[in-house]
Amino acid sequence: MVIDRRKQQKDDTRKRLTAAAIELLSRKGWAGTTVGDIARKAGVAKGTFFFHFASKDEIVTGLVRAQVTAARRARERVLAAGGSPVDALRAAVFELGAQAARSRELSRAVVAGTVEARSSWPTCARPGARGCSRSAPTRSCSRGR
């Protein structure tokens, strides 16, 4: 029983942090939202944020991962039922659209987090950058800044 209650408290705190991040990122944008802001809005200490998430990036990554997973499942359902690849793509896109319609605030937060975070990457670390073998940003990369 104690373990269940602790797990429930941990899950509740993580949900409050995520909800606070969604609201603040949607309203204030990536650069305007700090980890401290998110923790305050969720009613927890800043250190509690870092117990649940390594960084602000991790929250957005989790949100995007959940959306991609839902779209992948929609695609897989269509393919398993014998649908064409085009039908599967359509199902995935419709699922992403349905998610966006369910929560505009969440969609704004994901877009703000993704676009604003990428704009701070060094030029050579941006996906598709010419002359760079890296496919994701690294802190040690200084090329293209």
Q: Do 142 and 121 touch, CB atoms closer than 8 A?
A: no
For residue 66, give the CATH number of its domain. Answer: 1.10.357.10
Let me know if residue 130 belongs to a domain.
no
Please state, for a pLDDT cut of 90, what percent of the chain lies above it.
43
Residue identified by tokens 């499942």 is: 73
Helices and strands (H and E) in the chain: how many: 6, 0
Q: Which domain holds residue 26?
A: 2-125
Query: Considering its fold, how many domains does the chain have in total?
Result: 1
**Which residues neighbour 119 within 8 Å (Cβ) at sequence distance 6 or greater?**
none
Cα distance between residue 97 and residue 91, in whole Å? 10
Say what the pTM is. Answer: 0.63
81: its two tokens: 């039922």
pLDDT for the residue 144: 42
Please give the single-letter amino acid code of residue 41: K
Question: Quick check: is 94 in a domain?
Answer: yes
Question: Does pLDDT of 133 surpass 70?
Answer: no
